[in-house]
Structure 1
């Protein structure tokens, strides 16, 4: 159980399906590969159920696809990444601002490209740092990624929370690194694995929205009303 007297000093948020909806990303891949958008959605769902990387959905369509090379080709053709305010979940800006108003440091760090990092910083979100795996040269679920998270958080791991939707890429490796963890029921991975016993056991908090981060930052349970505290 989380000690209710322990206040959190840094909250680190995953990006994809935690802050940013992936609708545009998958639709653009479908258009680029020349397949119906629902085909991509179905294949991402299949990858999710198998607990595979979402990129495997693209490789089912184009076996051996080099994602980095494909990103470069799309950029060169004028079909590169795009991100604006409409891609954010509605609670993002207000929730992050409320956390910072408590004097808690906010870091945004996930598996994204250099370009995604530039676009996110361009949105002027209320965060102290925005970083991506491409910029760091290491990606989740690698322990080295979470070592960088601890480094940039600047606070002790037990006073740092990593918030994410994907158990295998966010929750489990963050916990293994000694960080506190909040599992967000959002996006396909967040909903599908929300009640899995291993997720319940590994999450210090289980939340339905980012507004609950203010309670977590203050040392409260932050859990969805009516649910017992988890993990810890």
Structure 2
């Protein structure tokens, strides 16, 4: 019986289109080119960081972020805000809570992401990031922290994400119920792989309410 639902962030709750578009502009390449390279990285099981190296072999991402912050101190840059939420996020999270389930957000995110998410006043019980925990998915320790935060045994927790490697497989190995959300480049690609059979695959967060909350 699922008593808590835990959500990844990027391409699960947050549409990253605007982030990658701003990055493409910053790197001086067409947005379609950069997003195509990102899709290629997803298909080849390469880190998204490889996309930066492919379009700008000399790029130093931390140094570029520092220059970007100096050039545009008040802009969103590599960050997100409430305008980047997928439309189904608020109603689906609210419906899950109304059904009596705990709702938690926990994903691989930089330190500023928690404040950005908290500013959205989402209907959730807790928000945590990998940066503050000092451990990232797919490490087992991350999912141990998720269970600790939820205050429940892993079998009572559903973990929802858009990737097999970071979300579904490690959550399943941790004893949780994995749900693969089929959106974003990784989500569409990974839903076609045999390993997706270890998860429940959904096309919208609205599908979670009948699936996890029950009658």
Q: Do these two structures clear the TM 0.5 threshold for a shared fold by scoring above it?
A: yes
Q: Is the 8 A contact 1:117 1:131 kept in 2?
A: yes
Q: Is the 8 A contact 1:81 1:116 kept in 2?
A: no
Could you say what secondary structure the match of 1:26 adopts? helix
- Tell me by how many angstroms 1:71 deviates: 3.2
Q: Gaps spanning 5+ residues in structure 2: where?
A: none
The separation in 2 between residues aligned to 1:17 and 1:199, in whole angstroms, is 17
The separation in 2 between residues aligned to 1:217 and 1:180, in whole angstroms, is 10
Q: Which residue is 2:176 aligned to?
A: 179
- Tell me by how many angstroms 1:28 deviates: 1.3
Q: Which residue is 1:206 aligned to?
A: 201
Which stretch has the larger CA shift, 55-64 or 112-121? 55-64
- 1:114-153 CA-to-partner distances (Å, cap 9, x unmatched) read 1122111111111111111122221111112111111111
Q: Which residue is 1:17 aligned to?
A: 11
The separation in 2 between residues aligned to 1:163 and 1:152, in whole angstroms, is 16
Q: Alpha carbons of 1:119 and 1:160: their partners in 2 closer, same or farther (altered >3 Å)? A: same
CA RMSD of aligned residues (A): 1.7
Q: Which residue is 2:28 aligned to?
A: 34
**1:154-169 to 2 correspondences below 5 Å:** 154-169=151-166
Q: Is the 8 A contact 2:23 2:78 kept in 1?
A: no
Which stretch has the larger CA shift, 136-145 or 43-52? 136-145
Q: Gaps spanning 5+ residues in structure 1: where?
A: 1-5, 221-232
Q: How many residues align?
A: 212
TM-score (norm 2): 0.92
- Tell me by how many angstroms 1:219 deviates: 4.4
Q: Is the 8 A contact 2:96 2:213 kept in 1?
A: no
Could you say what secondary structure the match of 2:138 adopts? coil
Correspondence for 2:85 among 88, 104, 120: 88
The separation in 1 between residues aligned to 2:61 and 2:211, in whole angstroms, is 36
- 1:150-199 CA-to-partner distances (Å, cap 9, x unmatched) read 11111110010000111111111111111111111111111112132111
Q: Alpha carbons of 1:49 and 1:76: their partners in 2 closer, same or farther (altered >3 Å)? A: same
Could you say what secondary structure the match of 1:211 adopts? helix
Correspondence for 2:133 among 112, 124, 136: 136
Q: Which residue is 1:63 aligned to?
A: 57
- 1:64-116 CA-to-partner distances (Å, cap 9, x unmatched) read 74544443432233253342332111100000000011121111111111112
